[in-house]
Amino acid sequence: MKNISSKAPKAAFSTRAIHSGYDSDTENGALTPPIYMTSTFAFDSAEQGGARFAGEEEGPIYSRLGNPTQSILETRLADLEEGEAALATASGMGAISAAFWTLLAAGDHIVADKTLYGCTFALIEHGLKKFGIEVSYVDCCNVEEITAALNENTKLVYFESPVNPNLRVMDIQKISDEVHRFNSEIKVIVDNTYCTPAIQQPLMLGADLVVHSATKYLGGHGDLIAGAVVGDAETIQRIRFEGLKDMTGAVIAPMTAFLIMRGLKTLELRMQRHSETALIIAERLQQHPAVEVTYYPGLPTDPYYDLAKQQMSLSGGMLAFELKGGLEAGKSFMNKLQMIKRAVSLGDAETLCQHPASMTHSTYTPEQRLAHGVSEGLVRLSIGLEGVEDIWQDIERGLLA
């Protein structure tokens, strides 16, 4: 007789990224999850419809609330991030705004890192503040600054790690511990877009919620716009029925959910390749006479190297640098590139280059960029899946400028 353990060991990350949340036997043997292109769902009876609306029975109602294709994706994302539940949305900003509008009200206070993705910063400055929500921007690398900013009205602490675009790294465990020691009800939210769960799992380090722009590495092919928020089941349910259903309407399309699941199948492999190539490029940039400074947590000389090694399994595919000559040198570099595309976004198979001050972080004023750590001459690279020597040859062409 076989000795079967009462609890089977958890499957590897790559296995779960391919199989979690789906049983082909329930879908006529279809190897790939079907795409449910329907807006609404029929009920067996009036009683069943009422039970589903009352939350007494599980099952699809209307695709603004959820869709079977979306549900498989959400189960898979929650599994990979080690969360209880997930919500997929129409964009990364849809995920962030749905979470914010659910968890915040007039008079509340949030603490946010001084450097944020430009649209997140704009949401806070042009959205939350308009409705009486206060914000304190601090250097989240300094946990003491966070704790000093907390007060009785604080509801959220929000940051990215690593940070877009200057690659600062936050001590997620220490921040979460100190914030929850002050008030266990405060939600610590981490934007994990740069790392993905293949490299870093903030919920395992004490964070309450994780948000993603699934447009980036989760999709991985530059052919979709989507987002996700992962956390405990109760909070995710609130965000689904308040922030998503009633306040933003940022509903993901079934085809988009399907494409993200396709991307997840190769996520671990892609993140390994992105990271390996990015480290080589960062090492070469660091040694180049035209480069003033290189920002990449995988470099032993980087100030965040030790912390990154503790909470990240790889160093990721994003890097940034400043050239001697500042802004004009950066523009000259970008205009000389041939293979590398001048484009915003990140996490694609193609290597992308952009100038944050005039592009993704242009929502900041020049004074705000200076205060928030986004220099005018910073150049950001999203390292793709091309051959490393081909990427470097194009970079060298730009550096000659």
Q: Give 14's contacts (C-beta < 8 A, 6+ positions apart).
A: 268, 269
Distances (CA, A) of 249 to 10, 85, 90: 35, 19, 9
Question: Is 216 part of the annotated catalytic residue set?
Answer: yes
Amino acid sitting at position 305: Y
H or E element that contains 53:
helix 46-53
Task: Please tell me the distance from the alpha carbon of residue 373 to that of residue 60, in angstroms, as a whole number.
Answer: 45
Do the Cβ atoms of 214 and 208 come closer than 8 Å? Answer: no
Classified as helix, coil or strand, 170 is coil
Choice among 52, 76, 79, 117 that is catalytic? 117
H or E element that contains 231:
strand 227-231
Task: Please tell me the distance from the alpha carbon of residue 325 to that of residue 289, in angstroms, as a whole number.
Answer: 12
Question: Is 191 part of the annotated catalytic residue set?
Answer: yes
Task: Please tell me the distance from the alpha carbon of residue 159 to that of residue 166, in angstroms, as a whole number.
Answer: 13
Is the bond into 197 cis (omega within 30 degrees of 0)? no
Distances (CA, A) of 70 to 74, 169, 251, 351, 391: 6, 31, 10, 29, 36
Task: Please tell me the distance from the alpha carbon of residue 18 to that of residue 181, in angstroms, as a whole number.
Answer: 38
Choice among 114, 155, 168, 216 that is catalytic? 216
Task: Please tell me the distance from the alpha carbon of residue 297 to that of residue 279, in angstroms, as a whole number.
Answer: 9
Do the Cβ atoms of 108 and 73 come closer than 8 Å? Answer: no
Question: Is 64 part of the annotated catalytic residue set?
Answer: yes
Do the Cβ atoms of 255 and 37 come closer than 8 Å? Answer: yes
Task: Please tell me the distance from the alpha carbon of residue 323 to that of residue 290, in angstroms, as a whole number.
Answer: 6
Extract the runs of DSSP E, i.e. beta strands, from 12-102.
85-89
Choice among 113, 191, 302, 394 that is catalytic? 191
Question: Is 23 part of the annotated catalytic residue set?
Answer: no
Cite the active site residues. Answer: 64, 117, 191, 216
